Each structure stands twice: as structure tokens, then as C-alpha cells.
Structure 1
Amino acid sequence: MSSLHNSAGMGRGEELSDFQRGTVIGCHLSKKSLREISALLNLPRSTVRYVILQWKRGVTTALPRSGRPQKLREEDRQALEKVALETRLPSMKALTSEFQSVSGANVSSGTVRRELHAMGFRGRVSTYSKSKGMGRGEELSDFQRGTVVGCHLCNKSVREIAALLNLPRSTVSSVILKWKRGGITTALPRSGRPHKLKEEDRQALEKVALETRLPSIKALASEFQSVSGASVSFRTVRRELQTMGFRGRVSKYGKGKGGKKVEKKPTASSQQDAMVDVSRLDLRVGHIITALQLPDSDNLYVVDVGEVSPRTVIGKLAKHIPVDQMQNRMVVLLCNLRPVTVRGMVSTAMVLCASSSDKVEILDPPGGAVPGDRIIFQGFPGEPDKELNPKKKVWEQIQADLRTDGQFVATYKGAAFEVAGKGVCKAKTMSNSEIK
């Protein structure tokens, strides 16, 4: 196991995230020295020393640089903690009054409650005790996940980490597995209330509303249900129609004055849909941090594209390019495809390659390009779509005109893939080949 794995982005001179601070503390708890932690995580010793010192003082996040000043000083917080632990006062107001008399600080009971919560105090005031914040059954913070990964990087076993951090082994295993698979260091969002209508149902509802002249919303809902098979109430139908911009009586939907059908004016989005060219693709230079072999010839790549966190990409390149040749290399990435889920993992981009029936080569960005550099095309100005709509086949239409020329340069209709001021993107040996 390499020393960094998914720890890229922990370079010198940058503000550390809570997760990165956690990895430092995890290594510290594993009895690693400052020198060893600095080498393992590629951090200056001064940064490591500072993070450990702050942690010993109870600080686990980056302190604010500027803005609204803190209402309590560090010595006031220590006094508040002592009052909460040593007294058994019946209410928050009584505790606040006692704290004010001890420290001389003039703060409200709301501020005191907020500070106590930040310190980890829970439950009734009269029975306050300070929790360690890493107990069982609670969602882990980024900092706590970082401590798990830091201990793992120091070759601690799952059993040792669970005992050291007072966590269930299943939680420790889950954090390490997610980190290995794709640099996932935060809790994934829980599922919420699903939408009652799918996109195709909304299109069917719009068609029914425009083409029929039914007397009421209930009649329209009944007609929509018979057409689409969707089982929804007329209230849901009314809400969806209002969201689409329908107003007025149902029997007048889609009609203007005099009973004439309203002509839809082309909007900016419809004009953009009519113009399909390479400017609609969000192509960027990426740097593969980690490449992993998955079952069934899939590869997983963790790619830095100049954003706050790296992207995960899942592709079927294993039979063409060994996984070790994909480690630590620059690539051209298509970044505005709709994310897809493969075996429970989300793929958020695609690596572009020159391709033939028997050979595949990764496109190489020009020398000097850095992660996040945009790929531009002379003669095709415009901003890329936020996300390509797969139903409109935008990528498929553009891809048909992507090829390498006789000099191995990647092109779209003769215009080179170019990074401004740095050069063009090329394949190593494949000329006159399609790109996909």
C-alpha cells in the first residue's frame, strides 16, 4: 500500500480540511512521530505540530480567519466547561447566570447552549456530562473519519482502531472501504422523499394538458392516468402543472386570446438545444490520483480536476491499459455527463481515448497543463452545458466528429483540442482514429 493513496490534495501551503486534520491525529494516536507523520502525509512538520497542538486544546477544525468575532475566549470556554461539569443546576438560565458570575462574561443563554453543544455536552442540564463525541450509533464527522484513515495508514488493524477510537469494527471497516474505493471521506446523503412523477410522466402530462380541452383538473388527472399509467392524485397533477407554468382554467390551457393556439417563442435553452457543437462539452485536464482494478474488467479512477474534491470515474479500460500505467498520469476528462451508479459507486466523468477496433490510447494533455485547465476549440465559442441531457443525445452527436488527425492531434471538425497558451492534446501513436 502506498503512503498517500487518496491523500492527494494535502499539499503544502493549503488550508487542511477536517478530514485531513483527522488523519494527522489518527497517526498521532498511533504513536507516530512528527517526522513520520510529515513523510506519510506529505505535510510540513510545522503543520503537523500545529494540528496536534490545536487538537490537544480541543480544536478539531480550522479557526476562522476573519469575520464575526467569537463571543467567548478560550479561557471563558474552559470556565464554562468547569461550571457545566461541577454543578447540577436545574436549567440553562441558571447555568448561564452561574457562568457569568464566575467568568464575568456577558453572554445569553442561547450562546451558552450553543457553546456547550459544540463541546459535546448533551442531555439535561442537571445531568450534564461531556461525551467524547465518537460514541457508537452516531454519524461520524469528517474529522473522525480522518482519524480512522490516519490509523489505517499507520498499519493499525480494524480491531486496534476500533479499540483506540471507541468505534464499532463495522464502522471502521466501512470508512476504510469507502476511502479505498474512491476517496469517499464524508457521509453520503441519506435518501429523501422520492418524486411522485418521473420525467417521462411529466412530458405525458404536458402533452395531455396542451392537446385536450377537459372541463376540470379531475378530468385531466383521469385522462393523464389512463395515458401514462401513473397513479397520482389530482392535487399532484395540479401542483406539477403549476410548476410547468400552466395557469388559468383547464379548458383554456395552451390557448391565447380568441381561442388561437399560443405559439411558443424559442427560449435560450431551446436555441441552445438546436445548436449542437463541441462547445457544449465540459472538457478539462485531469490528474489521476489513484487507479484501482475492480471485478469484471472495470477500473476505478480518483481524478483531480481542479475542484474542491476529486471525482470518481469508472471505466472499462482494464483490458486495453494496465492499471499501473494509469497511476499518476494526466488525462482529458469529460466532466458534464450525467452521473451514473455502477455497483453502488457513482461515476461522475469519462476519460477520453483515441480508439480503434483493436487498440485504445489515452489522450495526453500538453506539457505544462494542470488539473482543471479547460479544453477549448478555435471557431466554437460558448459555455458548456451544466449537465448533458442523455435523452437529447448531445454527446452522441458531437462524438461522431471527434477524431485524431494525421499528426495524432485530437480534433473536432478539424479544430484541435487546445489548452490556451500551453498546446494541443494528442494520442501517442494513433492517427485518423475516432475519439470516445
Structure 2
Amino acid sequence: MGRGEDLSDFQRGTVVGCHLSKKSVRAIAALLNLPRSTVSNVILQWKRGGITTALPRSGRPHKLKEEDRQVLEKVARESCLPSMKALASEFQSVSGASVSYGTVRRELQAMGFLVSTYKTKGMGRGEELSDFQRGTVVGCHLCNKSVREIAALLNLPRSTVSSVILKWKRGGITTALPRSGRPHKLKEEDRQALEKVALETRLPSIKALASEFQSVSGASVSFRTVRRELQTMGFRGRVSKYGKGKGGKKVEKKPTASSQQDAMVDVSRLDLRVGHIITALQLPDSDNLYVVDVGEVSPRTVIGKLAKHIPVDQMQNRMVVLLCNLRPVTVRGMVSTAMVLCASSSDKVEILDPPGGAVPGDRIIFQGFPGEPDKELNPKKKVWEQIQADLRTDGQFVATYKGAAFEVAGKGVCKAKTMSNSEIK
């Protein structure tokens, strides 16, 4: 790598890879033949939020004043918001400027932020790696990290790491060459219809599935094409013979633990935890966005319709009770992964307060209802709806299920402030 010229994304990635491998600035500069000041600058910009180089500017006039741009830069560096729309909403509430999230994205690009990697600090699986990511892999390799260590450090498949290193060793090539590949015989909408048929039906053979797909979509393809398309989607082509005796006759199965659990519906199947709202934002159409710490590696995002009952400023920095095993849903392009529990009546709503001393991640338990919660509640079986009918506050404002209090072990019970004998939802 030469001195005195602007570094490419791959070279900057190599510097960051060496830094992630615990190499000092002096060691990286000697290894890559770069000035120490350049190495320090790349690492510092990467730490500040993914900036590694200033993007070229087209000369288009800025829609924001200089003081607004300074506010936007501060919000982008200091907030931990999950999407560009959430960041734009936070910026508007702080500065009072009325701009679209597209303008916010464009201004951030002009400042040098890598907007495409804004949503996550890690490197995702299943996507084509950027030059910067490939450089990071090579940087770790130059620091004598094994393939297993690099894969764990960068959250990448070992096969991907091996492929990048091998191509780099063979001649400095790290990007995948374009592939012609066999063209799909089905259009994208037909492939979506095929996937839906495969997931929703339980047909006994690939020919029966192909026939059902043709009747639904109107596409004229052979069962071999259907088999090939399903294989590219990740489906397996063989029909399992598990549960069949000799002669192909079906053997009756005994009830399993999971089927017994499905039959038993009580509050132990809910994953209720104490959460701490880090950030609360007002969204259009009376929705609120909450970023909540529940004791996990990264916070959860929650979309709720509490704006008309509770001002957003009263939700900032607040402890709440969170239902954490609902199936995630997408609302206006943002994923909601939990639900805040409230005492509710026809004209009033109050947030349930955890006991004093509770910390994010504390489990809510119920005397007389042992058991482990479901990993994810199946919405088709209406588990939450059945349990919610028995959730109420008692005469002392304590949240209960069939008389058993919402309790944090050794710390106390969860309560509403003023609402007694009210349903919880």
C-alpha cells in the first residue's frame, strides 16, 4: 500500500481489520507501510460512526442551514436509532427543521457517513461483501488470525472468510467475478407464489405441489423446474418417511411435550420482562417509537399507539413491563419486536410500573404458574388473546393474572398508578 495517496475502501478495511485484531497503530503502520497519522485517522473515523472517507459532493445546494447540519451530525453520532426514518424524526424534533428522511440521508452522505451501513454495527450474513468488509477480512488475516477467529470476530461464515483470503492470495482479487448463471424460468411474482404454496400446503409429492402451483399462478412449468426453484429457495426435495412403519403405513404418534404445552395455555407462556426506555419518539399518525433496553446485547424497538394517552416526554428514561415473545411485525418500514403492557379502560391508559430496584431484563413471574415461556407466540393459536382476558389490576392497583401478582423475585410487584380493577393489554 503506497503512501501519499487517498486510500481505497479495501485499504481502509484492512486497517480496521488489523485494529480489530488488537494491533497497535505503530504495528499496523509498519505492516501496511502507511504513515501512523493515516492509520490513526482511519481508526478514529471508523470508531465515530462508520465514517472512513468523505464521499464526493455533486455541488447540489444544501437544504439545511449550517447550524442545522451541525445538529444533524451530533444526532447521528450520539443516537442509537434503528433506521434512517427514526433518525430523521429525532432530528426534526431537536432542530425544528421540516425535511424529508431522503434529505437527511443525502446530507449525511455529504458529511461522509456510510449510510448503507448505518443500521448495524456488525457485518450481516447472506449479503455480498463490500470492499471495506473484504479489506477487514484481509487485515485480520495479516495479523495471523485464523479463519475461525476472523469468522467469529466479524460475524461472517467461515466459507466466506476462506474464499476472500484465497482470492487475495492468488493475486489480490477479493471481489466475486460476475456470474452468468442459468436464468430462472419463473418470474419473481411466480417464485413468490411458489414459495407461498410450498409453505402453506402439505402435499405428498413434488408433482402434486407443481400441479397446485400451476392452478394458482397459471404458469406452465414442469415439476422438475418446480423442484429446482424450491432447492434454490432452500427447500429440500425429499419427503420424510419419519413416522411410517413397514409397508408405508402411518404409525400413530404419542402426544409430545410441545403438543401438551399447546393444550395448556396460561401466563407462564408469556416472556414478560422489565425494560428501560432509552429513547421515545413521536411518529406520524399518533404512533410512538420506543428504543428499549431489556438486558440483551442490543435494545429492542417498539411501535405503540400511546401518543394520545401519554405524552412522549413522560416515556423518556422510564421503566416498563414488556412482552418480549410476540412475533415481530413491520410498521411503516420499522420492525416492532415487543409490546409495552398498560392498565386500560375506555377513557384512560396507565403504564405498569415495575417494583423499585428492578433492572432491565428481570423476569416477571407468577406464583402457582411455573414453566418456561414460548420462544415465540404463534398468532394462529391466539395464545396471547386467551391469556390477556385474565390479566387485570386488583383493588390495590397490583397487576395480576387470575389473582397471582406480576412479581419480580425478591424485589416486589408491578402496579398501575391509580387504576384498579382494570384490564391489562
TM score, norm. by length of structure 1: 0.50
Higher mean displacement: 305-314 or 213-222: 213-222
Q: Deviations over 1:140-167 (max 9, x none)?
A: 9999999999999999999999999999
Deviation at 1:116, TM superposition (A): 29
Deviation at 1:348, TM superposition (A): 1.0
Residue in 2 that maps onto 1:30: 21
Deviation at 1:345, TM superposition (A): 1.1
Q: Deviations over 1:132-191 (max 9, x none)?
A: 999999999999999999999999999999999999999999999999999999999999
Deviation at 1:221, TM superposition (A): 3.3
Q: 1:82 to 1:372 in 2, by over 3 A?
A: closer
Q: Deviations over 1:330-379 (max 9, x none)?
A: 10001111111111111111100000111100000001101111101111
What is the CA–CA distance in structure 1 between the aligned matches of 2:122 and 2:412, rounded to whole Å?
51
Deviation at 1:399, TM superposition (A): 0.7
Give 3-state SS (helix, strand or coil) of 1:220's partner. helix
Work out the number of aligned pairs and report it. 423
What is the CA–CA distance in structure 1 between the aligned matches of 2:75 and 2:288, rounded to whole Å?
55
Contact 1:90 1:126 (8 Å CA) reproduced: no
Which aligned pairs between 1:361-400 and structure 2 lie closer than 5 A? 361-400=350-389
What is the CA–CA distance in structure 2 between the aligned matches of 1:102 and 1:277, rounded to whole Å?
44
What is the CA–CA distance in structure 2 between the aligned matches of 1:424 and 1:415, rounded to whole Å?
10
What is the CA–CA distance in structure 2 between the aligned matches of 1:426 and 1:93, rounded to whole Å?
34
What is the CA–CA distance in structure 1 between the aligned matches of 2:3 and 2:356, rounded to whole Å?
23
Deviation at 1:234, TM superposition (A): 3.4
Give 3-state SS (helix, strand or coil) of 1:23's partner. helix
Q: 1:317 to 1:197 in 2, by over 3 A?
A: farther
Deviation at 1:325, TM superposition (A): 0.9
Give 3-state SS (helix, strand or coil) of 1:252's partner. coil
Higher mean displacement: 105-114 or 136-145: 105-114
Deviation at 1:289, TM superposition (A): 1.1
Contact 2:231 2:237 (8 Å CA) reproduced: no
Q: 1:15 to 1:363 in 2, by over 3 A?
A: farther
Contact 1:355 1:434 (8 Å CA) reproduced: yes
What is the CA–CA distance in structure 2 between the aligned matches of 1:289 and 1:82, rounded to whole Å?
17
What is the CA–CA distance in structure 1 between the aligned matches of 2:173 and 2:125, rounded to whole Å?
21
Deviation at 1:270, TM superposition (A): 1.9
What is the CA–CA distance in structure 2 between the aligned matches of 1:71 and 1:284, rounded to whole Å?
43
Deviation at 1:268, TM superposition (A): 2.7
User: Radius of gyration: which is bigger?
Assistant: 1
Q: 1:274 to 1:152 in 2, by over 3 A?
A: same
Residue in 1 that maps onto 2:75: 83
Higher mean displacement: 304-313 or 36-45: 36-45
Deviation at 1:237, TM superposition (A): 6.7
Q: 1:256 to 1:423 in 2, by over 3 A?
A: same
Displaced runs of 4 or more, over 3 A: 10-121, 125-128, 130-217, 223-261
Contact 1:23 1:148 (8 Å CA) reproduced: yes
Q: 1:132 to 1:281 in 2, by over 3 A?
A: closer
Q: 1:96 to 1:197 in 2, by over 3 A?
A: closer
What is the CA–CA distance in structure 1 between the aligned matches of 2:94 and 2:286, rounded to whole Å?
66
The equivalent position to 1:226 in structure 2, one of 195, 201, 215, is 215
| 2:344 aligned with 1:349 | no
Q: 1:432 to 1:154 in 2, by over 3 A?
A: farther
Q: 1:297 to 1:117 in 2, by over 3 A?
A: closer
Higher mean displacement: 243-252 or 223-232: 243-252
Give 3-state SS (helix, strand or coil) of 2:281's partner. strand
TM score, norm. by length of structure 2: 0.51
Gaps of 5+ in 2: none
Contact 1:81 1:116 (8 Å CA) reproduced: yes
Give 3-state SS (helix, strand or coil) of 2:240's partner. helix
Deviation at 1:70, TM superposition (A): 46
Deviation at 1:45, TM superposition (A): 24
What is the CA–CA distance in structure 1 between the aligned matches of 2:339 and 2:314, rounded to whole Å?
17
